[in-house]
Amino acid sequence: MEQAVKRQTRRNCPSLPLALLAAGVVLCFFGIVAASRKQPPQAAAPPLPEFTVSTDTPLITSPSSEAETPAAYVPDEAEVEMLARVLWGEARGVPSDMEKAAVVWCVLNRVDAAGWPDTVAEVVTQPFQFAGYSPDYPATEELKRIAADVLTRWERERREGGDVGRVLPAEYYFFTGDGERNYFRTEFTGGTFWDWTLTNPYSS
């Protein structure tokens, strides 16, 4: 009976290694706590700077109200020469610069209108239209000056609008000539003929 009690007592006592392990864990815990208490307190974070929005200065800067000056328009040299050759073939015998210029305006009216090509070259070289044009015709300085002048007025009209010195309204697309004058009209057959009531911006 006494031996049985001793055996039972031994079974209830924890083993020595387990007891040492438990003691080590307890000591480590108390060591961590003590170390944390010895650390100096961290300095408080500095206060954030105050942020204010001035009502005097707009948050979004608007672009300058001054409009940029557009680049000066320079007529395309190939178009100038092509139109000068049209003038040679269609209006070289016409004494009036105003009536010569009307031939160029007629070409440009087609460029602007629906149902016609969109470039000077395509309008001028369209089959069965400007029979007086040939790439072999001379482009004289006088005719180039008139062509360049009309191109410049046309471009200014497209950019700014208003009166730029047109000599032929935009609805005139056709003309016939008799060697001395050209007669412009709104339709291929019939239509309204132009009466030259616009102001002449040229000296002749």
Q: Where are the domains of the chain?
A: 77-185
Q: How large is the greatest C-alpha to C-alpha distance in the chain, in angstroms? A: 154
pLDDT band at residue 87 under the 50/70/90 scheme: very high
**Chain CA centroid to CA 119, Å:** 21
The pLDDT value recorded for residue 11 is 47
The backbone torsions φ and ψ at residue 156, rounded to the nearest 5 degrees and listed phi first, read: -65, -40
Task: Give residue-wise pLDDT tens across range 70-82.
Answer: 678 899 999 999 9
- CA of 106: how far to CAs of 103, 145, 158, in Å? 5, 17, 16
The pLDDT value recorded for residue 68 is 62
Tokens matching residue 6 = 């001793």
The pLDDT value recorded for residue 105 is 98
CATH topology of domain 77-185: Arc Repressor Mutant, subunit A (1.10.10)
Strands (E), the chain: 174-177, 182-185
pLDDT band at residue 33 under the 50/70/90 scheme: very low
Is residue 159 predicted with pLDDT exceeding 50? Answer: yes
The pLDDT value recorded for residue 131 is 84
Rounded mean pLDDT, 191-199: 95
Is residue 178 predicted with pLDDT exceeding 80? Answer: yes
Rounded mean pLDDT, 107-111: 98
pLDDT band at residue 149 under the 50/70/90 scheme: very high
The pLDDT value recorded for residue 179 is 80
Q: Is 175 within 8 Å of 129 (Cβ atoms)?
A: no
Mean pLDDT of all residues belonging to the chain: 79
Name residue 13's beta-bridge partners: none
The pLDDT value recorded for residue 67 is 55
Is residue 114 predicted with pLDDT exceeding 60? Answer: yes
The pLDDT value recorded for residue 9 is 45
Q: Which residue has the tokens 């009976």?
A: 1
Tokens matching residue 55 = 């009502």
Rounded mean pLDDT, 128-150: 94
pLDDT band at residue 47 under the 50/70/90 scheme: low
The pLDDT value recorded for residue 71 is 76
Q: Which of 61-65, 72-76, 122-126 has the lowest mean pLDDT?
A: 61-65
